[in-house]
Amino acid sequence: MGFVALEGVGKVFQGRTGSWEAVRDFTISLEEGEFFCLLGTSGCGKTTVLNMLAGFEAPTSGRILLDGKPVTGPGADRGVVFQGHDSLYDWLTALDNIGFGLRLRGLPRSERRATAERFLKMVGLTGQGAKHPSELSGGMKQRIQIARALANDPRILLMDEPFGALDAMTRAVLQAELSRIWAETKKTVLFITHDIEEACALATRVGVMKRGPGGTLKAVVPVDLPFPRERTSDGFMRVFREVHALIHEEIHGGH
């Protein structure tokens, strides 16, 4: 069994107008240290899968195991990075945002500070720790979110389209940074995106989802290319085309 296991996981939401099957029979096993990108069209159930692994939502069928133990709710062993940056605390400095989880765990101030400074440096923001979120650019805020998640030393990083709201150039810079941080920390990452190129640039494996209702895993494409990825290389183009063909069917209705 893998480090993370989703076994026949399903989610049916009950709404006022009836029920909606967001995810159906989703099965995947992740190895420790891998960078798994979950790719799919809008509304296919990506966030629902991540929320269930994060423990924010309970599956309505199947089960989720982390290191052999069932996930029953949120926990410090999973660090979450969201697309929007409104999850940062406006009233705290960047450094205090990074150290927030450490404060909850009761670590002494000096230790919190040292750890927060270390992760501030890791995300390339040394010297910017005294700023508040409102004084930071979108890219900087996403760096702070990543640092905050890592500061708690989670076993897995769950990232839901973290660069989706950034301009193309900032996005490319942050992708490269994340790739470096992943190599440095050897964290297991589940990264959600709807951007094929982003998935091919970052992942050790790309999981392509089928569109909903009943969104599920349609195929898993291994990306056996060295890092940093050369996006104009023949190898990259080959993987891109393979993934593109799988997604294309979901956009244009083929089966």
Closer Cβ to Mg ion, 102 or 206, answer by number: 206
Closest CA to 239 of 248, 227, 231: 231
Closer Cβ to ligand ADP, 46 or 229, answer by number: 46
3-state secondary structure of 23: strand
Q: Does 115 bind Mg ion (CB under 5 A)?
A: no
Closer Cβ to Mg ion, 46 or 229, answer by number: 46
Strand partners, 69: 66
Asked if residue 160 lies in contact with residue 47, where contact means CB atoms within 8 angstroms, the answer is yes
Return d(Cα 242, Cα 43) in angstroms, integer.
Answer: 22
Q: Which positions from 187 through 216 interact with ligand ADP, judged by CB under 6 A? A: 212
Q: What is the DSSP letter of 211?
A: P
Closer Cβ to ligand ADP, 13 or 89, answer by number: 13
Instruction: Please state the closest distance from residue 162 (CB atom) to ligand ADP, in A.
Output: 13
Q: Which positions from 44 through 73 interact with ligand ADP, judged by CB under 6 A? A: 44-48
Q: Does 91 bind ligand ADP (CB under 6 A)?
A: no
Q: What is the DSSP letter of 215?
A: B
Residue 78 tokens, joined:
């999973």
From residue 125, how far is each of 53, 132, 138 by CA, in Å?
Answer: 30, 13, 13
Q: Does 47 bind Mg ion (CB under 5 A)?
A: yes
Helices (H) and strands (E) in the chain, counts: 8, 10
* x-or-dash string of contact with ligand ADP, 4-23, rule CB under 6 A: ---------x-x----x-x-
Longest dimension (CA), the chain: 58
Closer Cβ to Mg ion, 47 or 115, answer by number: 47
Return d(Cα 167, Cα 114) in angstroms, integer.
Answer: 32
Instruction: Please state the closest distance from residue 230 (CB atom) to ligand ADP, in A.
Output: 29
- Kindly indicate which of the ranges 42-50, 52-60, 95-103, 240-248 contains the residues binding Mg ion, using the contact rule CB under 5 A: 42-50
Q: Which of 16, 17, 18, 42 binds ligand ADP (CB under 6 A)?
A: 42
Q: State the residues that interact with ligand ADP by CB under 6 A.
A: 13, 15, 20, 22, 40, 42-48, 212
